[in-house]
């Protein structure tokens, strides 16, 4: 009997309905960690949300059938299925059901489900692709043979073929069409049966009806040429129709699998086993899910980091491209942070684990990705709403066509009705939005923009105002060294200007002392020294007896025994702790400044300020050039906000803004009819992100901000938002093109079919070509540059 997580009990009927052993592994709590997240609802009840890759889906209507099958399992609280990405998200009560139960329910409904992890999902795709190729091969091979037997009847003059030879050719065609109908066309019949069993109508219903009616009528004509079905056979039309439709569906399948593979490559990076270093120095191989904070892990070259942490020993480079979009490897030395899912490229290192499981940045990205892949955006929902009534209209139109032609020419009534059924099947309509949205999602993931809600693509196209938080979004959330000022002996501001080598020398000398402190300004000074180019100026100071006084600064002795100080003006100048206002006011006048020099004599002052992100100016300029209004929000003083706004070229800004002030400003813009995007990273931005029409967060931001965001910039580059909007505009154009093509195709072909000018085989080619054109048009989003058509 499979063990349950601590505190949970097995439902009373579990023993009687123990699932097959092949699914029991899904009930292992450690295995569930790979595809399940745990939550607690408002009443304190623990719930689980699991992600699965679904196989056996052939049309958009399958998503509704799968949702119905899942909801019938006791303990399943909610189910969401995306036909475009072939994924299901299931929310379930662990006290009442386990994953093996609802996977078994899907199996009984005719669908396969595997946990949404790389290996089984990839295997499921390979099996589905292999089976689709076999069906396509059988249909193609038999179609060629049937066409060979049917050709003499089309080209031979009357009387050249004797009745017995004609009957023989018809029997041979029937024999070759049987595997096409029973095997190659199997997905259409199984999909139609599932739809009818659920009392719903899907796109497979008219297709299956057309195939079945044509085959049965042709078989009747073959067995009894003088009977009610007449003497005309359409085996060639059946084989051609099935082949071309399977060919179109295979290309659609390949496009979906390519998108799924791209998205999985962005998140499926963890190794299956890691080498944990024990306290006695020995090594043990464990699953990444067994790691806990504080563990030490040895990471070999080419292996992925299995958790968030810091490098303890060794130097290397990490490939974070699939997590952040950063194309170049990032250098990592002792003390540097490493991200779960990034690849170790340079050399073996020893790391200390700090965050594991759901707390890692990797798992956060996985959660956002899975949420996006099970999302059914408004464009897809609209297409589904249109397709349902349209299918009923198709069946009614085919019946009326058969009735009308039974009076006009009874011998043609059957194939006219079949042509109407086939040519009006709304496959292209159902693929118009999902194919484009999935292609755009895959492109954005590779560029470092992860969508949590697919409706964000549509929202990006409507935005005309962008609210941007200043600190941490437009600027780095850490202060940077702005300038180095030479001082007079007494610490005043009358010192002469320092040339660059002198500035570098002072920065390096002070950084040698600052490295002993974790104070933000000390760390900013260390970063500034590390960024200096090698100009031949070296720091030769060797500090001893280093001491730090909280809130004041650092002191140490140099090689000659002199005491140097780094810190506030009062500390460096050795002013009494109780000295009133003079020293304090002078320090305040300097703002974020740190003085450095021998005790009692300040030699230089290091001034710190906010620094803009490297691409902030260009991103703001690009947004404004696109006609968008940019508004900067900040809780800082007006003079500091104005300085940053002037540097960025932003005319509209709001200073001293509390969270409620930011929310009020956004609400006022929306009330004025504007579509507003909010870009932020802090906890105080979460309410505004939730209210905005489009919300964008930086991946380094607070968890609550990322949870409220529609999109996350994995590389923390604002320029990615500009590129995402350009791609969203192209996606909207392609979706409109797809809808227009689907409507135009039906408007042109339905009259031809009703008039009897479109035989069933031509209708099959037209429907398959229509679906293929929609998919190929969507693939332009993957192959071409955003902003160009």
Query: What is the DSSP secondary-structure string of 392-416?
Result: HHHHHHHHHHHHHHHHH-HHHHHHH
Task: Give me the mean pLDDT over the 106-127 stretch.
Answer: 72
Report the alpha-carbon distance of residue 443 to residue 731 in Å, rounded.
Answer: 11
Task: Calculate what percentage of the chain has a pLDDT beyond 90.
Answer: 13
Res 176: pLDDT: 94
- Contact between 367 and 390 (Cβ < 8 Å): no
> Is 353 strand, coil or helix?
strand
Task: Give me the mean pLDDT over the 262-279 stretch.
Answer: 67
Q: Which helix (H) or strand (E) holds 344?
A: strand 343-344
- Say which residue, 275 or 35, is predicted with more confidence: 275
Task: Give me the mean pLDDT over the 126-137 stretch.
Answer: 88
- Give the gyration radius of the chain's Cα atoms: 34
> Is 596 strand, coil or helix?
strand
* Tokens matching residue 652: 């509209």
- Contact between 283 and 275 (Cβ < 8 Å): yes
* Tokens matching residue 330: 């990032």
Q: What is the DSSP string of 733-776?
A: HHHHHHHHHHHHHHHHHHHHHHTT-S-HHHHHHHHHHHHHHHHH
pLDDT tens-digit map of 273-300: 788 999 888 888 777 778 889 999 999 8
Given a cut of 90, is residue 716 above it in pLDDT?
Answer: no
Res 397: pLDDT: 83
Pairing of strands 553-557, 563-567: antiparallel
* Cα first-last separation, the chain: 59
Task: Give me the mean pLDDT over the 262-266 stretch.
Answer: 54
Res 379: pLDDT: 55
Given a cut of 60, is residue 613 above it in pLDDT?
Answer: yes
Report the alpha-carbon distance of residue 8 to residue 19 in Å, rounded.
Answer: 18
* Tokens matching residue 453: 């809600």
pLDDT tens-digit map of 393-451: 777 888 888 888 888 888 778 778 878 877 776 667 767 777 788 788 878 877 888 78
- Contact between 27 and 4 (Cβ < 8 Å): yes
pLDDT tens-digit map of 678-715: 988 765 676 788 788 888 888 766 555 566 678 888 77
Of 10-14, 511-515, 549-553, which gets the smallest average pLDDT?
10-14
Handedness of CA 128, 134, 140, 143 (dihedral sign): negative
Under the banding of pLDDT at 50, 70 and 90, the label for residue 455 is confident
Given a cut of 60, is residue 268 above it in pLDDT?
Answer: no
Given a cut of 90, is residue 142 above it in pLDDT?
Answer: yes
Task: Give me the mean pLDDT over the 105-121 stretch.
Answer: 74
Ranges 68-72, 260-264, 473-477, most confident: 68-72
Report pTM: 0.57
- Say which residue, 118 or 211, is predicted with more confidence: 211
In this structure, how many other beta carbons lie within 10 angstroms of the beta carbon of residue 93?
17
Report the alpha-carbon distance of residue 737 to residue 743 in Å, rounded.
Answer: 10
Angle between helices 455-462 and 719-754 (to 10 degrees): 110
How buried is residue 310: exposed, middle or buried, by Cβ count under 10 Å (0-12/13-18/19+)? Answer: middle
Given a cut of 80, is residue 326 above it in pLDDT?
Answer: no
- Say which residue, 231 or 279, is predicted with more confidence: 279
Task: Give me the mean pLDDT over the 460-474 stretch.
Answer: 88
- Contact between 526 and 556 (Cβ < 8 Å): no
Under the banding of pLDDT at 50, 70 and 90, the label for residue 173 is very high
Can you give the length of the chain in residues? 789
Res 183: pLDDT: 94
Pick the closest to residue 237 from 129, 160, 153 (CA basis). Answer: 153
What is the average pLDDT value for the chain, to the nearest integer?
78
- Say which residue, 228 or 542, is predicted with more confidence: 542
Res 123: pLDDT: 60
Report the alpha-carbon distance of residue 180 to residue 186 in Å, rounded.
Answer: 9
Task: Give me the mean pLDDT over the 384-390 stretch.
Answer: 66
Res 135: pLDDT: 93
- Say which residue, 604 or 324, is predicted with more confidence: 604
Pick the closest to residue 518 from 480, 484, 542, 550 (CA basis). Answer: 550
Given a cut of 50, is residue 90 above it in pLDDT?
Answer: yes
Res 245: pLDDT: 75
pLDDT tens-digit map of 43-52: 778 888 888 8
Whole-number Cα distances in Å, 103 to 78, 88, 243, 406: 14, 11, 32, 48
Alpha helices in 1-117 (DSSP H): 21-24, 29-32, 61-71, 99-108
Res 355: pLDDT: 83
Given a cut of 60, is residue 92 above it in pLDDT?
Answer: yes
Res 727: pLDDT: 92
Res 15: pLDDT: 35
Tell me 495's DSSP state.
Answer: P
Res 362: pLDDT: 61
Res 296: pLDDT: 93
Res 577: pLDDT: 44
Q: Which helix (H) or strand (E) holds 240?
A: helix 235-267
Res 527: pLDDT: 84
* Tokens matching residue 181: 């109908």
- Set 236, 469, 622, 685: catalytic member: 469
- Contact between 106 and 73 (Cβ < 8 Å): no
Res 19: pLDDT: 43
Pairing of strands 274-277, 283-286: antiparallel
* Tokens matching residue 784: 């071409």
Given a cut of 90, is residue 629 above it in pLDDT?
Answer: yes
Res 540: pLDDT: 45
Q: Which helix (H) or strand (E) holds 36?
A: strand 36-40
Res 22: pLDDT: 55
615 is catalytic: no
Report the alpha-carbon distance of residue 270 to residue 31 in Å, rounded.
Answer: 14
Res 467: pLDDT: 93
Res 2: pLDDT: 37
Task: Give me the mean pLDDT over the 365-378 stretch.
Answer: 53
Pick the closest to residue 483 from 464, 462, 507 (CA basis). Answer: 507
């Amino acid at each position: 009997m499979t063990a349950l997580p601590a505190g949970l009990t097995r439902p009373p009927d579990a023993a009687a309905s123990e699932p097959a052993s092949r699914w029991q592994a899904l009930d292992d709590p450690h295995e569930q960690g790979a595809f399940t997240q745990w939550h607690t609802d408002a009443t304190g009840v623990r719930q689980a949300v699991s992600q699965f890759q679904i196989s056996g889906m052939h049309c958009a209507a399958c998503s509704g059938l799968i949702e119905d099958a899942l909801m019938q399992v006791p303990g399943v609280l909610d189910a969401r299925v995306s036909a475009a990405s072939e994924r299901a998200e299931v929310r379930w009560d662990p006290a009442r059901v386990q994953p093996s139960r609802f996977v078994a329910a899907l199996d009984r409904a005719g669908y396969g489900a595997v946990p949404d992890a790389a290996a089984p999902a990839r295997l499921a795709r390979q099996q589905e692709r292999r089976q689709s190729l076999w069906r396509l091969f059988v249909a193609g091979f038999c179609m060629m043979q049937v066409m060979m037997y049917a050709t003499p009847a089309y080209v031979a003059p009357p009387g050249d073929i004797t009745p017995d030879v004609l009957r023989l050719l018809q029997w041979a065609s029937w024999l070759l069409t049987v595997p096409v109908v029973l095997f190659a066309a199997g997905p259409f019949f199984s999909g139609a049966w599932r739809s009818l069993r659920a009392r719903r109508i899907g796109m497979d219903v008219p297709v299956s009806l057309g195939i079945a009616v044509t085959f049965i009528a042709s078989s009747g004509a073959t067995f009894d040429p003088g009977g009610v079905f007449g003497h005309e056979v359409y085996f060639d039309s059946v084989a051609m129709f099935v082949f071309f439709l399977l060919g179109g569906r295979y290309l659609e399948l390949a496009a979906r699998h390519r998108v799924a593979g791209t998205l999985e490559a962005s998140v499926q990076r963890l190794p299956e086993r890691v080498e944990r270093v024990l306290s006695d120095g020995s090594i043990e191989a464990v699953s990444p899910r067994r790691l806990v904070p504080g563990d030490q892990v040895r990471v070999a070259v080419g292996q992925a980091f299995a958790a968030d942490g810091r490098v303890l020993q060794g130097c290397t480079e990490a490939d974070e491209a699939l997590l952040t979009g950063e194309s170049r490897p990032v250098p990592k030395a002792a003390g540097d942070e490493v991200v779960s899912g990034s690849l170790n490229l340079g050399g073996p290192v020893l790391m200390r684990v700090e965050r594991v499981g759901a707390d890692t940045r990797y798992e956060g990205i996985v959660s956002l990705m899975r949420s996006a892949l099970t999302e059914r955006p408004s464009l897809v929902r609209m297409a589904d709403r249109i397709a349902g009534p349209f299918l009923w209209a198709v069946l009614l139109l085919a019946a009326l066509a058969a009735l009308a032609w039974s009076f006009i020419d009874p011998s043609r009534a059957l194939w006219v009705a079949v042509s109407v059924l086939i040519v009006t099947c709304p496959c292209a309509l159902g693929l118009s939005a999902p194919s484009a949205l999935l292609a755009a999602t895959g492109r954005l993931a590779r560029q470092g923009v992860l969508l949590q809600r697919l409706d964000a693509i549509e929202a990006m196209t409507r935005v005309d105002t962008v609210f941007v938080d200043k600190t941490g979004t437009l600027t780095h959330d850490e202060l940077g060294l702005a300038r180095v000022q030479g001082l007079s002996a007494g610490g005043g501001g009358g010192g002469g200007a320092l040339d660059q080598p002198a500035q570098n020398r002072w920065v390096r000398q002070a950084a040698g002392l600052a490295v002993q402190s974790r104070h933000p300004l000390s760390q900013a000074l260390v970063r500034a020294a590390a960024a200096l180019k090698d100009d031949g100026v070296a720091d030769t100071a060797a500090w001893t007896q280093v001491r730090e006084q909280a809130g004041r600064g650092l002191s140490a002795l140099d090689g000659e025994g002199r005491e140097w100080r780094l810190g506030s003006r009062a500390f460096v100048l050795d002013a009494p702790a109780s000295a009133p206002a003079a020293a304090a006011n002078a320090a305040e006048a300097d703002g974020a400044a740190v003085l450095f020099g021998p005790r009692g004599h300040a030699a230089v002052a290091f001034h710190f300020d906010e620094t803009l992100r490297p691409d902030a100016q260009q991103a703001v300029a690009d947004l404004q050039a696109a006609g968008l209004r940019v508004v900067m929000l900040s809780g800082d003083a007006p003079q500091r906000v104005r300085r940053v706004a002037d540097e960025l070229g932003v005319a509209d800004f709001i200073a001293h803004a509390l969270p409620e002030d930011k929310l009020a400003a956004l609400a006022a813009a929306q009330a004025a009819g504007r579509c507003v995007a909010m870009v932020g990273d802090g906890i105080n931005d979460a309410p505004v992100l939730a209210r905005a029409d489009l919300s964008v967060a930086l991946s380094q931001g607070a968890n609550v901000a990322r949870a409220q965001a529609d999109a996350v910039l994995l590389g923390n580059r604002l320029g990615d938002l500009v590129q995402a909007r350009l791609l969203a505009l192209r996606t909207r154009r392609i979706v409109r093109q797809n809808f227009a093509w689907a409507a135009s195709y039906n408007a042109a072909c339905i009259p031809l079919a009703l008039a009897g000018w479109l035989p069933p085989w031509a209708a099959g080619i037209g429907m398959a070509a229509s679906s293929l054109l929609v998919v190929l048009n969507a693939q332009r989003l993957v192959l071409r540059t955003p902003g160009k058509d």
